Amino acid sequence: MERQWPEGPSADPDAARERYRADMAASRAAIRELFRREPSDAHTGLGLVVVASVLVAVVWVPQAGAVLAGGFAALFVVALVVALFLGRRRGGAVRAAYRFTFGWGGWVSF
């Protein structure tokens, strides 16, 4: 059975394969750039969590602020375990978990 290529019967399968690989590499690079986080973004996220926890504890009840802070702490621990499981070293795993947990701070603008 002969393969049908979109370019016609004289298509070069190696060139098509190379175009596919180049397109996939460009797509992965765009996704990595979208989710790339800087430490300053994570610092902003951590600061916002601390301020929100204190504000919630003052306005409502202290337990609500503790639940909010505890939720982020639990997310950090889970991210840390996953990073360690994936083979990162101690310092790298802590940085990756920190950026994952609080990196959304870069999306907040004042």
Average pLDDT over residues 3-28: 79
Q: Cα–Cα distance between 47 and 34 in angstroms, integer?
A: 22
pLDDT in tens, 33-81: 766 778 888 999 999 999 999 999 999 999 999 999 999 999 999 999 9
8 Å CB contact between 57 and 65: yes
Instruction: Locate 80 and state its tokens.
Output: 């840390």
Q: Cα–Cα distance between 78 and 84 in angstroms, integer?
A: 10
Taking the complete model, does pTM exceed 0.75, yes or no? no
